[in-house]
Chains A and B, each alone.
Chain A
Amino acid sequence: MKLIYRIVLRLSAVLIPLMALWGMLFFLMTVDEIHDEADDALDDYAELIIIRMLAGRELPSLNSGSNNSYSITPVDREYADSRSHIEYYDAEVYIPEKGETEPARILSTIFQDNDDNYYELKVAMPTFEKDDLVRTILFWIVLLYLLLLLTLIGVTTWIFHRSMQPLYALLRWLDHFTPGRRNDPVPDDTNITEFHRLNVAAQEAADRSEELFESQKQFIGNASHELQTPLAILGNRIEWLLDNTDPNEKQVEELFKMQRSLNHIVRLNKTLLLLAKIENGQFPESSEVDIAALIREQAPLYNEIYESRHIDCRIDLPEQFVVTMNDSLASTLVTNLLKNAYVHTEPNHGIDISLCDRTLVVANDGDTPLDGTHIFERFYQGNKKEGSTGLGLALVKAVCRYYNLGLAYDYIEGKHRFSVTWPYKKEEK
């Protein structure tokens, strides 16, 4: 989840209920105030009428331009005593001007004139105006609430993006950083202290990993040099013994065995160097390689070498399957998969090689499933084979990782299946 989404979500989670609560409180206070005002207005109106009545002056006409109305009814003393002095209530009132009944707020009070006559005064004020007001206020509060929320989130997002530019620049730079290739320095055009420190730290880490990478490369180069020369000396001394000392059968046998062990070390050394080179990404040059053709070329070689095992190799390949790879890595991939299958297949069993949907599957008969989690590790061998480096599948894995190919092992219906999948690329059709 992107940081900005997380911030917006959290901000919303807090602001939505909080602002709703504020809005509600504000609304309730306003409505309360409106009711109060309305009752006050009724009070004033009633007082005006009573004063005029008691003073014997002309009462206001029933229709004075407002929708207010009143009625005065003489009542007897008992009635007056039984009622409270002043009372507010809501009721339906008939309004003659409109010719219909409307909900209204009514004030009912009882007063007494100088002649001890009791009158009941009812003053009514239709509530539709008040309701209108309340509705309008509610509408605006909701609208303002939404507007405020959206503005807040929008502004936050914008400010966040603006302020986080240096972080995004750093992330983009990190995405493109590969040790051993030419890398630009960390972009640092910020005056924000925290980001500047982050950039400095990233640059230091990058420099350190570049240095490590360099020294590792140098170490491998030097180690290979140091190892290859004594290996060459040893091999040549054995050859000299063979050619110049007229050894007897036993001696020749021993010398040959020494030579084979030596060749094994040489192979191991070369393979480790190759692995290191692949993992260091030192195979930049690539070309169009036809994997199908490569298999057609390699499989007969293995058939010839392992002829005595009578392995039945079934090949199902398309006309061609062209990928962009380094050609020596492509051949490393294919030969190691094939070799693994041939070396580990029991005599009179079969191997299936197929290629479809950009997936190369090499399957061979086997009795027990292998440990899929360790099978691609260096020097992991189910059962030790003499002369095997134990690096074949590690090489396959290294090549797959180098080109982001999918590599999988599974055991289905008595077959070990190794599959390599080339992902679809836009430029490749």
Chain B
Amino acid sequence: MKILIVEDDPSLREIMQRALVQERYVVETATNYAEADAKLAAYTYDCILLDIMLPDGSGLQLLEHLKQQRKRDNVIIISARDSLDDKILGLDMGADDYLPKPFHTAELLARIKSVLRRGKSGGEMDLRLGNVSLVPESSRVLVDGRELPLLKKEFDILLYFMQRPNHLVDKTVLAEAVWGDHADQADNFHFVYAQMKNLRRKLTEAGADIEIKSIYGFGYKLIPPTE
């Protein structure tokens, strides 16, 4: 899997590259419009991470260019401007996803996986870890092929962790990701514990071989089965 990172900030580029290399992707980088344009003309990539604001041009122009060349590369726009206009424009111009800055590395990896999977299977996509598979579109979870009924919040938590295996997640970050911005001033996290307790019990009872571990009492980590 070959990925091109088009990002002008060296530090962010380095972090993204490091994270992707860790996930065993082949990574190339471009620091500006001209370099990206040249690389896109010469090679084909499975996925392009595209910053919209580049020093010598707009990422949207690059997208337009790509469309003209009838290239079918997957594109994820990474933009500092979290504006609906940019998002609509980008997706209209053929981008596959839109990720506003600042983002979590895990979020970026999850989006890349999702885009690549969508590209391969033509829409149908599910997440698989051990004997658990999860279909985001239809909100279904299967353990060993048997359906596991989950409540809405339990499902959202599982989806969040399935996208970030082996990643240590702060409970406040989890609360905000699942409950939204409302949760940022909660004075305790009983509501997270309660849902988490039920989810873990259901997973164990169904015989799932993945485990969401509590780490030092302030965070969680999903541990997939060791192969």
For A, the interface residue count at a CB cutoff of 8 angstroms equals: 47
Interface pair B188/A308, CB less than 8 Å apart: yes
Tell me, rounded to whole Å, the shortest Cβ–Cβ distance linking A357 to chain B: 28
Interface pair A263/B172, CB less than 8 Å apart: yes
Residues of B within 8 A of A308 (CB): 187-188, 190-191
Tell me, rounded to whole Å, the shortest Cβ–Cβ distance linking B185 to chain A: 5
Q: How far is the CA of A234 from the CA of B104 in the complex (A)?
A: 10
Interface pair A239/B104, CB less than 8 Å apart: yes
Stretch from A136-144, A223-231, A312-320 at the B interface: A223-231
Partner among A229, A305, A328, A343 whose Cβ is within 8 Å of the Cβ of B179: A305
Residues of B within 8 A of A260 (CB): 170, 172
Tell me, rounded to whole Å, the shortest Cβ–Cβ distance linking B69 to chain A: 28
In the complex with contacts A252-B215, A256-B170, A232-B179 CB distance below 8 A: no
Partner among A232, A244, A259, A298 whose Cβ is within 8 Å of the Cβ of B103: A232
User: For window 159-200 of chain B, which residues contact chain A by CB distance below 8 Å?
Assistant: 166-168, 170, 172-173, 175-176, 179-188, 190-191
Residues of A within 8 A of B119 (CB): none
Stretch from B9-17, B27-35, B90-98, B127-135 at the A interface: B9-17
Q: Does A304 sit at the interface, judged by CB under 8 A?
A: yes
In the complex with contacts A224-B80, A231-B102, A236-B15 CB distance below 8 A: yes
Tell me, rounded to whole Å, the shortest Cβ–Cβ distance linking A380 to chain B: 16
Q: How far is the CA of A408 from the CA of B69 in the complex (A)?
A: 57
Partner among A243, A263, A304 whose Cβ is within 8 Å of the Cβ of B173: A263
Q: How far is the CA of A309 from the CA of B16 in the complex (A)?
A: 41
Known: A224-B80, A229-B80. 8 other contacts (CB 8 A): A229-B102, A233-B11, A234-B102, A240-B105, A270-B82, A273-B82, A301-B182, A305-B186
B interface residue numbers (CB < 8 A to A): 9, 11-12, 15-16, 18-19, 22, 53, 80-84, 100-106, 166-168, 170, 172-173, 175-176, 179-188, 190-191, 215-216, 218-219
A-B pairs with the 9 shortest C-beta distances?
Answer: A232-B102, A225-B80, A228-B101, A228-B80, A231-B102, A249-B216, A236-B15, A256-B170, A242-B168
